[in-house]
Amino acid sequence: MKNILFLFTLFFTACSIKNYTHTQTKIIMIKSPKLKFADLGFVRNSDKNIELELFIAGKSIQKISINHLICVDDGCMSKGGFNKEYLNENYPHDILQNILLGKSIYDAKGMIKTLDGFEQKITNSHVQIIYKVTQNSIEFKDKQNRIIFIIKNTE
């Protein structure tokens, strides 16, 4: 029985160790009904995992980890559950990871290529989004739901 417990513990702790291949320091501003933040942060990612770590005055105050679930200080939840609690339940499940990585949202709906990135405007009965990605910044603004993500390079 002890061997089974040891193997079980080893298996689940080994799965929780993440090796990120990219780490970037960013200036991050987030405004949503449950998240309000404006300072420096780290965006770390590998092929399957993303982590957003937020700092105020050099002290880590929040960590958001994304793989098949989204984990915050309060625990882990599905991507749809995270959207419902922290953002908007009508958003696609992969919206947070796509914003953090500067990828298109809503299956590239309304995408217009620009000189150094792209822009999307998405309007329906649930959202009024303007999403811009350039080499130096990512800006997501949903006027209808009053949600803002701005991520800028520190250089």
The DSSP annotation for 41-84 comes to EEEEE-SS-EEEEEEETTEEEEEEEESSSEEETTEEE-HHHHHH
User: Average per-residue pLDDT in the chain?
Assistant: 87
**pLDDT tens by residue, 73-94:** 888 999 999 999 999 999 999 9
Q: What local confidence, expressed as pLDDT, does residue 69 receive?
A: 94
Structure token pair of residue 117:
């990135």
* pLDDT at residue 11, as a whole number: 43
Q: What is the model's pTM?
A: 0.84
Q: How confident is the model at residue 18 (pLDDT cuts 50, 70, 90)?
A: low
Report CA-CA distances (Å) from 37 to 10, 22, 60, 66, 93: 36, 22, 12, 18, 22
Residue range 95-122: mean pLDDT, rounded: 96
Per-residue confidence at 58, pLDDT binned at 50, 70, 90?
Answer: confident
